Structure 1
Amino acid sequence: MEGYVMRDTSQAVGLVDARNQNWADFRVFVQQFGAQICKLVNAATGASGAANIEPAGKYYLYTLYKLTVGSQAFDIQYFRPGSSLSDLAFNRLSGMMKVGQDDQLFQRHIGFIDEHMILIAQANGGPALSEKIATDSVDAWSRALGRWHGAISQKAPRRTASGTMYNYLRHLYRGEKHDVDEHRDFLQSLPVLEEVLVNTNSRLSHYTCLSDGQVCLTKPTAFRMMPLAWGLLESGLALSKRFPDHIEQIVDGLVQGWAEGGGQSNWEHATFREIVKVFCTIEPDTRHIHESHLAQGYLDAFNSTRGREEPRVELAFQSPHFDVKLKQPTKTAIKALRSRLIDIQCAPQIVEAEGQRPDAPIEPKVRSAAQSNPSNALGALCGACSGYCCQFGLQNHAYLKASDLAAFSETRPDLDHEGIADAYIDKIKSRHARNGCLFQGSKGCSLPRDMRSQTCNAYLCGSARQVLANEARLQKSKARVLFVAGSKGAPTLWSDTKTKPLSGA
């Protein structure tokens, strides 16, 4: 390979993100990874000659780049570092691309740089489905989409589930209430026994048309564990919005294609067809419905399985989730933290930048009664979350300020600045959360509360505030509470003082 040419159009497409320059800055990306990416492409495809990399768009979880080498084109997805959501999306997408290679369900997977969450795929160059499909071809391309969903459903990972299609459609989907309730009896009669990892981004522009009449997913951005065939249903909605006068053709094409692709369902053919038609005719709500409805959906599903004499769950809360994967802390990170802790004790200008004079009296850390003596429910919530807020402590040095270290030094007058810093370093465990705070371990924060920052001690996420808002009710009635952590929907049932996994989840 003769080298690569860097075309800096980042300002034009708005790729520079002041909050994370190293991730979003185009020049930094090319300097760090350009040569390595070109070597991977050359080894996998034999492509040679001058290469050109251009920014192609920025999404919430990743930045997209276009690479051309001679006449060959490649898509590069660089996922946002330090985010459990992007880590999850990267792992799901890389896994799905591998299992779908043989059937051309995705673009050809060239390789990835795992430690930096970079995916490289060869662009197929076909026209987007949104441009190709027309009224005279809606039935053919509906079948093609059905075949794609049927084929991928046989390869995707699965897990057991509970509830009904009504639970999912009402609480997880952006549908108008009256439209969903119109089909309530039918949807409640359809049990959901398992979930499958499906593509829930139904945009027709994310598929390209191949020369043999098949479709290929070229922008796989949203894989979630949902009921079997959910991705097919989402595609039905997208098609029906585009061609509202061809719903019967769309439904027949999707169902026929699903079977041709090897897709199966727990329902009879007529029932399955009716489910697809329901999705095609529901009017979506234009407002964004937050995933807090996931918790309510699990609450309804759980209560629907209870016998007449069995207790019901009364409250449900949605929490974030950090998928903790432990790794050994690097010497570089530890050294940087130690230097920072010494600097903020020694340099007056840093202290003043924090809004406090070096000689100002130390203000005691004040915590509310609820924070000082959190309820069992709040503890269960944080346990289900696993420290989503803590992960950002890696780049922010555990949010420790001069005032925090000064307060701790009052309890250890025998230590100088370096001694105070070393006291903190000694609290770092042999393994900490990957992409998380150095003090974040398998059992939470390794710092005692009197050594933590005021920021960490005082912070309450939205989910925690909701729990505290219901504190009186929780303490008085000992209500059973369901926590659903993250978009993966891993529920935990809390009752009185115990936390246990929810049966059947």
Structure 2
Amino acid sequence: MNMTRTTNALTVRPEQGQWHPVVRARLAGKFDAIARLVSGRKSGGALEFDVIKHGHSALSLEVRSGGRRAYLKLFDTSHTDKAYRREKASLCALRDSGLVPRILAFSDGPRFILCTWSDGASELQQNIPMGPTAFARNLGKWLADLDSAVPGETACGNWYGYLQSFGASLDMDRIQVARDVLMEIPLCGRALSRNDAALQNFVTNAEGQLMGCDFDLAQMRPRGWDFVLGHIGLIERFPDRIEEVLTAYTDGFSRAHRGALIVEELNVVARILYCARALATGDTADIIQWQ
């Protein structure tokens, strides 16, 4: 096995030391099968690995064999397998949607997922894969398409009742002030949500279309939850261009969406949630990780 180009990503978590022994140990007995999948050949060949990102619970790798590339995410077995199971289930559910890199294989023992490579995969380390306005519009479209592709279920209630459940993560006085408005906005069922406000977790395919990565936080949420988180993420990422990017974001979603969600109502929920979280001096992670 040939492992090349030790990148700066290795310094993200220096306490873990070199990544080579981890990959060798965790993928032992799997190299030939991985090589066949990556290269598309019947006989396995040499594998080359480069680190893309060394995150809190997973190691993201570029894998090369036979002149072809793939993306491999190796989850930390010292953590619970929740993140691995969430990502695997999400990518399997969206396998033929064109909205995510196509899953090629997974293994529950060593906890890895192998996906097709996107030309923009190296941009996982960058902030935004295109200009702010274009990105916001494409993000809105991607979320509308995602809402049509994910599994869902019925749910009753309204956004006031739902947001009340977050407790100390939000300023409940702000939620109470907006009670009448939120009670008029119904929940339109629940759906599998990416549940991630991080705007850097996207790549672009050969046609320049967005593809979502990192579904390790995915869970069932009210329909429109990902739009709400995207709204908040754009405000925090582009504070000097809020009106511009949110207009593009809303336009992209509205043009592509075919469901029952009303984008104006989701924008209202997003503004209220943003203020309630800020007044609670909380973090987006508080509402994302809430169960």
TM bin, normalised by shorter chain, reads 0.7 to 0.9
- The aligned residue for residue 150 of structure 1 is 144
Deviation string, structure 1 residues 227-265 (Cα, Å, up to 9, x no partner) = 101111111111112223443443333333234444523
Q: Does 1:194 align with 2:189?
A: yes
* Conservation of the 8 A alpha-carbon contact between 1:247 and 1:280: no
User: Once the 2 structures are TM-superposed, how far is the Cα of residue 39 of structure 1 from its aligned partner?
Assistant: 2.2
Q: Which has the larger radius of gyration?
A: 1
CA RMSD between the two structures: 3.7
Give 1:202's aligned amino acid. A
User: Once the 2 structures are TM-superposed, how far is the Cα of residue 209 of structure 1 from its aligned partner?
Assistant: 3.0
Question: CA distance change for structure 1 residues 215 and 8 in 2, over 3 Å: closer, same or farther?
Answer: closer
Question: CA distance change for structure 1 residues 78 and 99 in 2, over 3 Å: closer, same or farther?
Answer: same
Distance in 1 between the 2:240 and 2:116 partners?
36
Distance in 2 between the 1:286 and 1:66 partners?
38
Question: CA distance change for structure 1 residues 211 and 26 in 2, over 3 Å: closer, same or farther?
Answer: closer
Q: 1:15-414 maps to which residues of 2 (within 5 A)?
A: 26-33=20-27, 36-43=30-37, 45-46=39-40, 50-69=46-65, 71-81=67-77, 85-86=80-81, 88-126=82-120, 127=123, 130-134=127-131, 137-138=132-133, 140-172=134-166, 174-177=169-172, 179-192=174-187, 194-267=189-262, 270-278=264-272, 284=278, 285-287=280-282
Deviation string, structure 1 residues 396-443 (Cα, Å, up to 9, x no partner) = xxxxxxxxxxxxxxxxxxxxxxxxxxxxxxxxxxxxxxxxxxxxxxxx
* Conservation of the 8 A alpha-carbon contact between 2:94 and 2:149: yes
The unaligned stretches of length 5 or more in structure 2 are none
If the length of structure 2 is used for normalisation, what is the TM-score?
0.77
- The aligned residue for residue 404 of structure 1 is none
Q: Which has the higher contact order (CA 8 A, sep 6+)?
A: 2
* Conservation of the 8 A alpha-carbon contact between 1:166 and 1:187: yes
Number of residue pairs aligned between Structure 1 and Structure 2: 282
Distance in 2 between the 1:60 and 1:272 partners?
31
Deviation string, structure 1 residues 119-139 (Cα, Å, up to 9, x no partner) = 0113313145733444xx51x
User: Once the 2 structures are TM-superposed, how far is the Cα of residue 148 of structure 1 from its aligned partner?
Assistant: 1.3
Distance in 2 between the 1:211 and 1:179 partners?
44
User: Once the 2 structures are TM-superposed, how far is the Cα of residue 115 of structure 1 from its aligned partner?
Assistant: 3.3
User: Once the 2 structures are TM-superposed, how far is the Cα of residue 96 of structure 1 from its aligned partner?
Assistant: 2.0
User: Once the 2 structures are TM-superposed, how far is the Cα of residue 58 of structure 1 from its aligned partner?
Assistant: 4.0
* Structure 1 counterpart SS, 2:128: helix
Question: CA distance change for structure 1 residues 37 and 162 in 2, over 3 Å: closer, same or farther?
Answer: farther
Distance in 1 between the 2:51 and 2:129 partners?
25
* Conservation of the 8 A alpha-carbon contact between 1:64 and 1:75: yes
Q: Which moved more, 1:255-264 or 1:168-177?
A: 168-177
Distance in 2 between the 1:199 and 1:180 partners?
24
Question: CA distance change for structure 1 residues 257 and 60 in 2, over 3 Å: closer, same or farther?
Answer: same
Give 2:183's aligned amino acid. Q
* Conservation of the 8 A alpha-carbon contact between 1:79 and 1:117: yes
* Structure 1 counterpart SS, 2:233: helix
The unaligned stretches of length 5 or more in structure 1 are 19-23, 295-485, 490-505
Deviation string, structure 1 residues 329-365 (Cα, Å, up to 9, x no partner) = xxxxxxxxxxxxxxxxxxxxxxxxxxxxxxxxxxxxx
User: Once the 2 structures are TM-superposed, how far is the Cα of residue 72 of structure 1 from its aligned partner?
Assistant: 3.5
- The aligned residue for residue 6 of structure 1 is 3
User: Once the 2 structures are TM-superposed, how far is the Cα of residue 118 of structure 1 from its aligned partner?
Assistant: 1.3
Identical-residue share of aligned pairs (%): 17
Distance in 1 between the 2:202 and 2:284 partners?
25
